[in-house]
Amino acid sequence: MGYKDVKFPKESIFLVTGGAGFIGSNLCETILEKGHKVRCLDNLSTGKQKNVDLFIDNLNYTFINGDIRNLDTCLESTKDVDYVLHQAAWGSVPRSIEMPLFYEEVNIKGTLNMMEAARQNSVKKFVYASSSSVYGDEPNLPKQEGREGNVLSPYALTKRVDEEYAKLYTKLYGLDTYGLRYFNVFGKRQDPNGAYAAVLPKFITQLLNNEQPIINGDGKQSRDFTYIENVIEANLKACQASNEVAGEAFNIAYGGREYLIDIYQDLSQALGKTIQPIFGPERKGDIKHSNADITKAKEMIGYNPDWNFESGIKEAIGWYKENL
């Protein structure tokens, strides 16, 4: 179960792009704990220096302050690398609506640079972060690979284009690519600050600070919130997946469905708070309901998530209490 039984040759080298970010730093931590070498590539535009400082004294850890928009940087950082875990991207649906050209440059061109560098340097596996946002306006639940609608934001479009390029790189060049469609990931080191912060860390920190949170819309939207440990498992298992399933994209979630207003009430209860939220306008580009069918990931890459929402949120609350 989980990733504890996932083993790699001792001399394996991993490159984690976006390794100073929330998901990337958790991946770096786990791979280092397994005794392997990690290169972290990040330009610290959204990643945090403190997430680099956590590991800087580890002899198996190398930090490269560089940008995926620079092909030479990508080529240099992938030399002698066995596995690329490509997490570097700019997130946030609303921000992408304000900055479409920038998202094209980072999320599409940057990812293409990384795939090309991985191909030229004969990387064994290229695992990359996609997103549940690729499902767009497809109304059916649960979300199932192969049944996508029209995308609703530039961010979603960048992730869909990444998936198409990954398919081509597998088909044309033999690069083993595996796309992971993350569903609302949460957990330790997720940034609660800023206008585009994810909803769970924002709720938790606002409640801890006795602030009144804003819920966009009526709170009846639902999500398949996915604890970070499940995402780590998916990345490591994709590195061991058969090349017969290369070029595919997989839903990475728990397979649950939580309503935002229920979550808010549960968090309030867990933190002993009685603060009424403010209901604001719905966010442009948001998907109303999102939960995942994870059958394909189970069958093709052996993904078998241990952490449900309840166990994950308990850990997350504990972390924020200690680290705020």
Type of residue found at 207: L
Catalytic choice (3, 155, 303, 320): 155
DSSP notation for 259-276: EHHHHHHHHHHHTT--PP
What is the distance between the alpha carbons of residues 185 and 23, in angstroms, rounded to a whole number? Answer: 8
Plot region of 201 (φ>0 → left; ψ -120 to 50 → alpha; else → beta): alpha
The phi, psi pair for 149, rounded to 5°, reads -105, -155
Type of residue found at 28: C
Residue 128 known to be catalytic: no
Evaluated on CA atoms 16, 17, 20, 21, the torsion sign reads negative
What is the distance between the alpha carbons of residues 186 and 31, in angstroms, rounded to a whole number? Answer: 19
What is the distance between the alpha carbons of residues 282 and 215, in angstroms, rounded to a whole number? Answer: 9
* Residue given tokens 């390029």 in the structure block: 165
Distance of CA 314 to the CA centre of its chain: 20
Active site residues per annotation: 155
